[in-house]
Structure 1
């Protein structure tokens, strides 16, 4: 069987835009796979909200994040890209992060150039480290791969916010020279900026589409024509799930009718995996379902 990283390499060789809904736990990742998507990304924003109920401001530790990566990777067969934030320290921490994510089953790890603690890419207060520190992070990630970590490197820069698009493109170009496989210039503000990013940078590029965020939410065909290989939707599932839960809680509080808004119980059980479990367990006399 090909490794998760090799599965992702195969996808990136295809001439298409890979639409990538982002997950936050094993169940959301399973639903993405069941819906027929080719890959997913563990959104740091969504995972922080789901796992610890806190905003994506660097509050989750490396240990919590890599544990979340492992749980998600175990639940799916498609490639998982995962948010490694700033690498959780200096260049040596970056190496450990990249190696740990590979062991946990991630196909790619994202390393970014924000000052720690990082912030969500579409929220105020972002700052980036110097070019030298940013380059060291990507260099360390590439070194971890050379040392045996079978994983792709998704290198992200948030320099557009403070220093303009030209600085962001220069950083991303250097990231590619240092060994990054996928480039991510966060938060271009116009279609023209998105076109410039894709025209001036080599290799696979990722667009990050936050509904209500700074980057234009373009149709998939237009994103492909511009030159993106991946379109990530980091908050779409989380926002959908939260809205549904809040609505249902209000209905429950007032004793309003809510059945029509719920997934039917049999379908829910099927999607979680009860039927698969029963099919496999039926092979073992002592584990068969009792009727």
Structure 2
């Protein structure tokens, strides 16, 4: 019975592992200062570690050392250990602080970040493009994108009780740099958009000059985009949906809903898939366990 149990356990492990590799995952950060994974097939969110130490978590990028980096409202850069979710302060970017109601929240406050071709890029409230040093945190201005800036302090209230929001994602695709952006006024009572200030659009950005070129209109509410196996997944915080994003024209198609526990998704990058050599080694190890169990069974009977 013990040998039979061993074989059963091994084959169950094979099935579970194969299933795990079949589902694509992305790392995300959200508006509740949480870090974790989102399963693109099921929409399930799994938090990793405790909440991040500073208010914020805007944008997510993969650093050259394999860690992940994100912005806080203060414009400080943090690295996140993808295995544990543990945050480490990298340092101030040099951009403006927008952490509290009394913060400057100037036009050069940090907006979001992403990566392309091994480099980390960021934008500020006026939609200028920066290169970010993952070791020191320092942001170096590249130039204005020409994309409309954020027309107000994000999260500020209007006289009629409505609130000002924006959505932005910056990401790389096939060596190119892209951005989605929109800005709108939201009614918390009716839970509806009452006015669109900047229409949602997809842009391609020249990383050497910062200049952005309009690709096309897209959906309101895209808070993050991640490319996995040639498909670009947009996370729409207005609808709670995962959408396929067409980089040729900005159009989208519905893929699935995501877990409400994922909250307002503000950054996403793919979870690396195992190297073929690692899978081969894993398979060899399993075959060795199966052979051991069979030999034990033969000796017993």
TM-score, shorter chain, exceeding 0.5: no
The structure that is strand-richer by fraction is 2
Highest Rg: 1 or 2? 2
The structure that is helix-richer by fraction is 1
What TM-score, normalized to structure 1? 0.32
What TM-score, normalized to structure 2? 0.31
